[in-house]
Amino acid sequence: MSAKSVPFFNYPMVYKHQEKEILGAMLDVMNRGAFILQSDLVDFEKSIAEFLGVKHVLGMADGTNSMMIALRAANIGAGDEVIFASHTYVATAAAVHFAGATPVPIECGADHMMDANFIEAAITDKTKAIMPTQLNGRTCDMDTIQAIADKHGLIIIEDSAQALGAKYKGKNAGTFGLAGSFSLYPAKVLGCFGDGGLIVTNDDEMYKKMAMLRDHGRDETGEHVTWGMNSRLDNIQAAVLNVKLKTYMADITRRREIATLYHERLGGLNHVQLPPAPNSESERFDVFQNFEIEADDRDNLRAFLGENNIGCPIQWGGKPVHQLKNHGLDHHSLPITEKIFERCFMIPMHPWLSDDNVNYVCDKIIEFYRK
């Protein structure tokens, strides 16, 4: 056993790396009594709209509600089918389920993104939408997905929970489809102090509907003009996020530096397969929410890393969505995804890792395969 330790994520640092400024912002909100739908939220929404180059942004209670509300606003419900990649959080499928529609899982490719080659075989006369997950801070092949959607008259709603700031051909994740959803859960690339989410759209009609669904069916005048729910981002969270947004690009830069370091140290190892390195593809800018690798003898490697105090979970608790037992999707057989889940896991990736931390993780992986 080593005295060193590299936990998978550092939750206290979400607060501590900007302690004074965050405390100041929170005290200011509390002293103003500005708790729900106040100026800090409006400011945050404006900043995100500018950052993403998108017309409308709504702060939401969490990333799951925001997807469900987007689906409902797009009139997707009972009798409809929505195609998604099984290598995603159960939340993607749960949003479809609670919108009243049926989630239809498909395969992912070698880079773990939705494999667009499997979309057409999953389309039926009930299919209404494709929900690509912009997984691990990377974007899917959006050109191909868009072409298929156009050909079959389907809408796209992106689960961009892990990809705020990721780009495909210069365009931001979340801004390709009719709407894009983000999560602001503490461990996400941009995390708040609890649950939070965002929904973005360039469509005025979608924006109006989603704004009403978020706030009890109220329009701008405050009148309840339709059925709605409550799914608002707290103003105090928005105030915290306004502070965190100031260092967000620096955080992404650090994530990409760490990814580069992992590539320098592990790229030559035959036993592991790494995600594409930063700058290795001209069409993508990845933000590395996670560093998900594939490895030979994965379970023994993970046990060895665990003995050396390195946090290295398998994403989603180890199962893609179609392999969950009680969700009615386990009649699907997705051999490529299933194979990946025998080999994949994540090594630490967050902006507060030191080079020493990263080198320690690499040393232990190299040591494991030498034995």
Ligand X SMILES: *Cc1c(COP(=O)(O)O)cnc(C)c1O
Q: Which residues bind ligand X (CB under 6 A)?
A: 62-64, 88-89, 91-92, 133, 159, 161-162, 183, 185, 195, 197
Query: Which lies closer to ligand X via its Cβ, residue 89 or residue 288?
Result: 89
Q: How far is the CB of 183 from ligand X (least distance, A)?
A: 3
Quote the CA–CA distance of 193 and 191 in Å, as a whole number. Answer: 7
Q: How far is the CB of 195 from ligand X (least distance, A)?
A: 6
Query: Which lies closer to ligand X via its Cβ, residue 10 or residue 88?
Result: 88
Cβ-contact 73, 128 below 8 angstroms: no
Q: How far is the CB of 90 from ligand X (least distance, A)?
A: 8
Quote the CA–CA distance of 73 and 6 in Å, as a whole number. Answer: 43
Indicate the residue whose CB is closest to ligand X.
63
Q: How far is the CB of 87 from ligand X (least distance, A)?
A: 9
Structure token digits, residue 178: 């009719």
Query: Which lies closer to ligand X via its Cβ, residue 88 or residue 357?
Result: 88
Q: How far is the CB of 248 from ligand X (least distance, A)?
A: 17
Q: How far is the CB of 73 from ligand X (least distance, A)?
A: 17
Q: How far is the CB of 103 from ligand X (least distance, A)?
A: 13
Query: Which lies closer to ligand X via its Cβ, residue 165 or residue 266?
Result: 165
Structure token digits, residue 80: 């409809």
Phi, psi dihedral angles at 120 (to 5 degrees) = -60, -35
Query: Which lies closer to ligand X via its Cβ, residue 62 or residue 234?
Result: 62
Query: Which lies closer to ligand X via its Cβ, residue 183 or residue 308?
Result: 183
Phi, psi dihedral angles at 39 (to 5 degrees) = -60, -35
Rounding to the nearest 10 degrees, give the CA dihedral for residues 214, 220, 226, 229: 20
Instruction: Give the residue ranges of DSSP H helices in the chain.
Output: 11-16, 19-32, 39-52, 63-73, 90-99, 119-122, 142-152, 204-214, 235-245, 248-266, 298-307, 335-340, 355-370
Structure token digits, residue 136: 């691990």
Cβ-contact 214, 60 below 8 angstroms: yes
CB count in 10 Å sphere of residue 26: 17
Query: Which lies closer to ligand X via its Cβ, residue 89 or residue 368?
Result: 89
Looking only at the bridges linking them, the beta strands covering 291-295 and 272-273 are antiparallel
